[in-house]
Structure 1
Amino acid sequence: MGKKTYFEFLEEEYQALSSELQTSLASANAEEQGSISNNSASVIERQLSRCKAVYHQLKAESRGDAEFKERVQLYKIQLEALQGHFEQLTS
């Protein structure tokens, strides 16, 4: 499997995971702020953790490729925003 193919596989995985995470955050957002259930919080934490793991794989795979590095930078921004949203819900 070539590097680009593996990178694209990771991208698809990241996009699917972040989409699930966004759905969970939107559902939790519908609950009263600051009082999301422990169950929702632990589900979101696990999803966030999986997103971070795939992000780090993407980052490692992007070494030496400017186009991939740009895309990884966008994922980093998105991941930080999702993390911030989660922290806002649990504060």
Structure 2
Amino acid sequence: MKVVIRLLFLFLGEGRYPDVNRVIPLKTGGFVTFDLAELKRTVKRFHAVANLEKNPALRFVIDQDVVLSVASQDEANSFSETVTILN
């Protein structure tokens, strides 16, 4: 029998870090349920487009619908799609 142990050490040095309160909202209004297979397919398609960028980012806009989008840095090229909500 072979046992493999992997350890990850993370050291956060002194310095300034991004303000997580700007990235993660303090107030959340609930939850959304997706069809996991559909969401995976959609994210995979968007990931292919996002990888063409130096700093790729996928954006979720959640309102009555959920819109997943990706855009080039100069926003000259963009692609968006509505993802089905189950609840």
Mark yes or no: TM-score above 0.5.
no
User: Larger Rg: 1 or 2?
Assistant: 2
Structure number with the higher helix fraction is 1
TM-score, structure 2 as length reference? 0.29
Instruction: Indicate the structure whose relative CO is greater, using CA pairs within 8 Å and at least 6 residues apart.
Output: 1
* Structure with a larger share of its residues in strand: 2
